[in-house]
Amino acid sequence: MKHLLVGCLLIMGCAPEPAPAPADPETEVVEAVRAEQSSMTLSIREVSQEGWSGRLVVASFTNGRDRHVRVLPSPRPLPLSEIVAGASPPEPFAAIDGGFYDTEGTPMGLVRAGGQDHHEVGERGGSGILMVRDGRVSIVHRDAYEPGANVSEALQSIDRLVNRGSSLVGQAASRRRAARSAVAIDALGDLHLVVAFDERAVASESEALIQMSGDATRTGPTLSQMAELLVRSPEDGGVGAREALGLDGGLSTSMVVKSDARALTILPYNATINGLLVTVNAS
């Protein structure tokens, strides 16, 4: 999803007209499928909000010892589906695009997988780090991160969106619209991989595949709207996030889900430099 500033300004200048929608988000669950032999659930919700209308796709995993979180590094930007295929994860699983990368195809922040650092913490990499310490998943500020042998996985990204159940996106945040991806943790410790996109960003679609278009960097929720959806309770159409970290959305927005009940791939317009994978031991 990387662009030079000039490119960004040009893209923003030719953005499609916003889709009419109510100021407060209206959401409707159109699909909710729980894997028959695990604690993974996939839900798809239609969302109408000021300036965009599309879908919120959430892969959720209950807190427990059968849940395993891995960072998948890549030697170069690749489609998420290729990165996941190289890891050969057991089903059921869900994966989402990871942190940002620069114009050289290099990660901009910390990438730690299997107890080894593939890229160090970077000032440009973002304020938030998702980490797995002694099997426990948490999202912390970059300055609070303490590396150690008991940290098996860690991923830095731009930026923390939710902290202690409240949005961290201020009034001065960019109003740019784009498809968004994030990882969230709720009050119960359940983990949610979240993608939001405008219908205008869908190039083609079948039952198990959604191909994103270049409009993924011109349409969709603003950063504050994404944070609002993450904070809202599931009963009110949101995720109920207590902590949330924004991932490399826009042209890199992608997700891969496979279980005994449902398979879905959101294929990005562009590539991603790493991914976040969650697997569940089948019962």
The tens digit of pLDDT for each residue in 120-172 reads 999 999 999 999 999 999 999 999 999 999 999 999 999 999 999 999 998 77
Beta strands in the chain (DSSP E): 26-34, 40-49, 52-61, 67-78, 93-97, 111-113, 116-119, 128-133, 136-141, 151-157, 160-163, 166-167, 180-186, 191-198, 202-205, 209-212, 241-246, 255-258, 263-267, 272-280
Is it the case that residue 17 has pLDDT exceeding 60?
Answer: no
Say yes or no to pLDDT of 209 above 50.
yes
> pLDDT tens-digit profile of 146-158?
999 999 999 999 9
User: What's the sign of the alpha-carbon dihedral 72, 75, 77, 79?
Assistant: negative
Looking at residue 9, its pLDDT comes to 30
Query: Could you tell me which residues are beta bridge partners of residue 96?
Result: 255, 276
For 79, 170, 182, the CA distances from 96, given in Å and listed in that order, are 11, 25, 8
Q: Which candidate, 18, 39, 86, 97, places its Cα nearest to that of 271?
A: 97
* Whether pLDDT at 8 is above 80: no
Is residue 83 within 8 Å of residue 272, measured between CB atoms?
yes
Q: Which residue has the higher pLDDT, 75 or 15?
A: 75
User: Where is average pLDDT lowest: 34-48, 97-111, 253-267?
Assistant: 34-48
Q: What is the pLDDT of residue 171?
A: 75
Q: Indicate whether 104 pLDDT > 60.
A: yes
Least-confidence region, from 30-34, 214-218, 240-244? 30-34
Answer whether residue 23 shows pLDDT above 70.
no
pLDDT category, 220, cuts 50, 70, 90? very high
Picking from 181, 192, 121, the residue whose alpha carbon sits closest to that of residue 156 is 121
Give the pLDDT confidence score for residue 14 in this predicted structure. 45
- What value does the mean pLDDT of the chain take? 91
Examine the pLDDT at 4 and tell me if it is beyond 90.
no
Determine whether 149 is exposed, middle or buried from the number of CB atoms within 10 Å of its CB (0-12, 13-18, 19+).
exposed
Q: Is the pLDDT of residue 71 over 70?
A: yes
